[in-house]
Every structure is written in C-alpha cells, then in structure tokens.
Amino acid sequence: MNIPDDKTLGQPQNTVASVIVLERFGRLLFSLAIIGIGVETLICASGHKVVPVIPWLPAIPSLVYPVGAIFILCGVSLLFQRNVVLSSITLGVVMLLCGLAFDVPRHLNLMSAEWRTNVLEPIVIGSLAWRAAGGIPGWLHRTSRYLLAFALIVFGIGHFQVLTFIAGMVPSWIPWHQFWTVFFGVAFVAAGTSFATGCRQRWAAFGVGLMFAVWTLTIHLPSLLGATHDPDKWSDVFIVVAFWGGFWAVARDRKDLNLGADSTLA
C-alpha cells in the first residue's frame, strides 16, 4: 500500500488552518473598524451639516448619538464574539436603512460617485456583517450575497467612468497608474460576478480583501498621517479597513463556499 508523504497529508489541514487564521484576522479588523466608525460618529455629531462618517447622517444629536452607540456596541460584541448574530443583523439593518433613507433620495443617479460612496459603501458593510455571522436566516444570507455582487460590479464600472481621477490617487512611486486602475476595475467586476454566480467566492473574497489591504497601506494611511485632523481621512481609513477585514472574514463562509473539511468546524 502506498502511503502519501507527510507534506501531502498536511495540505488540506494547512489550507483549512490558513483560512481560519484569515477569517479571524478579518473579523478583528472589521470589528475595530466598526468601533472606530461609532466613535467618530459621536465625535462628529455636532459642528457639521452632515456627519462626515459612514453612513452620512444629518447632524441631529437625537439621531446621531444612538446610531454611534449602536455601532460601538455592535463592534465590541463582534470583537469579543458575544451575541454575534444579533449584533451582525443589527449592524447590517442600521447601515442599510441609513443608506437608503438618507442618501438614496439625495443621490438618485445609480452610477454617480455619490451613489457609490454614500449608498453602496454602507450597504457593503452591512452585507459583510450579515455574511460573517453564522446562524442568520438563509434569505438574509442570500440577499447579502447579491447586494455585495451588485455593489462590486458598480464599483468596477465606476473605475472606468472616472479612470483619470482614480489613477491620480495612486502614489507617485507606483508605476503604471492607469493600468492598475483598469486592473482593479476588472477585478471588482470579476469578484461581483463570482458572488452573483456562487463560483469561486472564497477566492473573490480573499482577492477583494487583499485589494483593500493594499489601498489601506499605500493610499489611505499615508493620507491620514498627513491630515490627522481631517474627519474625512479617518472615515476613509475606517471604511477601507472594514472592507478589508469584512471580505477576509467571509472567506470562510460555510453556507456558500466549498471548504471541504472546514465545513465541519465550529
């Protein structure tokens, strides 16, 4: 009888372990980003016409303070893995409702930059919260998948609409600005198609998370360090970190992703 060597035997376990580590790190980043969004929401509750924190709320203290507190509580709950299902559903519902209620009426053009930023970004964060939690209703799990697919495809198309503007955001020390803008636009559309069809979702989630990780480290953190008193820069960092962590957290999605032995793990 031929017995495979230890390297062959260890491959599935190593793959599962890597995915689990990726998921846990993603959950950590996502939780901290949500806490950061909540804290910034409370700090920016006054002195602004619209609070410059996702979701972009009218600066009405009776509205902003409860929303900020909800984000902090949900982020802390996700961080310490307490009441995860309730916190994930609550976070997703608040993000979705705020985006639809306050931003859709003001930005009706689906392909506008404001629609992508003000409407789709909170919807993506909410959908990632739903997908990262086990035990949520199946219909909500499927809905979040299609919302993510829709948002990613719109993000990708947006790269081609404002190619020059986005290319200008690439740091000067990185060559081929337009190439990378086109590349990431195609990557967005491909990832959205993956979520929509259910094909290779784990790789799509990992790839999108990696893309936001690169943007965090090369674009948004350096920009923040040069303008630490600008709330918009803080918002940008919290959003991209939430996307980075959120997509890596769903890379181990047991309901839709074929992870083999991983599907039996708690």
Residue 99 structure tokens: 């985006």
CA distance 234 to 52: 9
Residue 206 has pLDDT above 90, yes or no: yes
State the number of CA atoms in the 13 A half-sphere of 11 facing the CB: 5
3-state DSSP of 167-200: HCCCCCCCCCHHHHHHHHHHHHHHHHHHHHHCCC
Of the candidates 187, 217, 220, the one whose C-alpha atom is nearest the C-alpha of residue 205 is: 187
CA distance 194 to 246: 17
Residue 89 has pLDDT above 90, yes or no: yes
Residue 155 has pLDDT above 80, yes or no: yes
- Mean predicted confidence (pLDDT) in 137-162: 90
More confident residue, 155 or 118: 155
CA distance 88 to 157: 29
Mean pLDDT computed over every residue of the chain: 83
Residue spans of the domains in the chain: they are 19-258
Beta strands in the chain (DSSP E): none
Per-residue model confidence as pLDDT tens digits over 253-262 = 555 444 433 3
Contact 36, 233 (CB under 8 A): no
- Mean predicted confidence (pLDDT) in 185-201: 91
More confident residue, 214 or 262: 214
Residue 144 has pLDDT above 70, yes or no: yes
Of the candidates 132, 152, 131, 156, the one whose C-alpha atom is nearest the C-alpha of residue 143 is: 131
More confident residue, 2 or 55: 55
Residue 80 has pLDDT above 80, yes or no: yes
Question: Is there a cis peptide before residue 55, judged by omega within 30 degrees of 0?
Answer: yes
Residue 191 has pLDDT above 50, yes or no: yes
CA distance 68 to 74: 10
Per-residue model confidence as pLDDT tens digits over 45-70 = 877 888 888 888 888 888 999 999 99
What percentage of residues in the chain have a pLDDT greater than 90? Answer: 44
Predicted confidence at residue 211, as pLDDT, reads 94
Residue 5 has pLDDT above 60, yes or no: no
Predicted confidence at residue 123, as pLDDT, reads 92
Q: How many residues does the chain have?
A: 266
Contact 206, 247 (CB under 8 A): yes
